[in-house]
Chains A and B, each alone.
Chain A
Amino acid sequence: MKRFFAQLYLWLLLAMLYAPIVIIGIFSFTESKVLGNWTGFSTELYTSLFNGGAHHSLLDAIKNTLSIALIAATASTILGSIAAIGIFNMRGRKKQVINLLNDIPMLNPDIITGISLFLLFVSLGISQGYTTVVLAHIAFCTPYVVLNVMPRLQQMNPNIYEAALDLGATPMQALRKVIIPEIRPGMISGFILAFTLSIDDFAVTLFTKGNEGLETLSTYIYADARKGGLTPELRPLSTIIFAVVLLLLIIINIRAKRNAKRNQAM
Chain B
Amino acid sequence: MSIFSKLINRRSNWAVPYAIFLAIFVALPLLLIVLYAFQDAEGSFTLQNFVKFIRQPEAVNTFIYSIGIAIITTFLCILLGYPAAYILANANLNRSHTTVVLFILPMWINILVRTLATVALFDFAKLPLGEGALIFGMVYNFLPFMIYPIYNTLQKMDHSLIEAAEDLGARPSVVFTKVVVPLSMPGVMSGIMMVFMPTISTFAIAELLTMNNVKLFGTTIQENINNGMWNYGAALSLIMLIIIGVTSLFSDGDEQSDSESLI
Contacts and interface: CB of A to CB of B under 8 A. Distances in A.
Contacts of B108: 196, 200, 245, 248-249
B30 A200 contact: no
Contacts of A196: 108
B260 A24 contact: no
Interface string B125-158: 0100000000000001001100000000000000
B100 to A, nearest CB: 9
Contacts of B143: 13, 17
A221 B225 contact: no
**What is the interface of chain B mostly: helix, strand, loop, or mixed?**
helix
Nearest to A197: B260
Contacts of B106: 17, 21
A147 B118 CA distance: 33
Interface in B32-74: 32-33, 36
Interface residues of A, number: 94
B230 A119 contact: yes
B109 A242 contact: yes
Contact of A238 (B17, B113, B240): B113
Nearest to B200: A109
B130 to A, nearest CB: 16
Contacts of A172: 8
A93 to B, nearest CB: 13
Interface string B77-92: 0001001100110101
Contacts of B11: 85-86, 88-89, 171
A16 interface: yes
A113 B234 CA distance: 12
A193 interface: yes
B19 interface: yes
A241 B110 contact: yes
Interface string A161-200: 0000000000110000000000000000100110010011
A147 B155 CA distance: 22
B112 A230 contact: no
Nearest to B225: A115
Given A79-B18, A105-B26, A10 B197 contact: no
A112 B237 contact: yes
B227 interface: no
Contacts of A53: none
Contacts of A88: 11
A196 B23 CA distance: 25
Contacts of B240: 109, 111-112
A36 interface: yes
14 contacts: A3-B93, A6-B94, A7-B87, A86-B14, A89-B11, A109-B197, A112-B237, A119-B36, A139-B21, A147-B256, A196-B108, A202-B111, A217-B113, A241-B110
Interface of A: 2-3, 6-7, 9-10, 13-14, 16-21, 23-24, 27, 34-36, 79-80, 82-83, 85-91, 98, 101-113, 115-120, 122-123, 135-136, 138-139, 142, 144, 146-148, 171-172, 189, 192-193, 196, 199-200, 202-203, 206-207, 217-218, 221-222, 225-226, 230, 234-235, 238, 241-242, 245-246, 248-250, 252-253, 257
The 9 closest A-B pairs by CB, nearest first: A86-B15, A86-B14, A20-B117, A83-B18, A116-B29, A109-B201, A6-B93, A139-B25, A20-B121
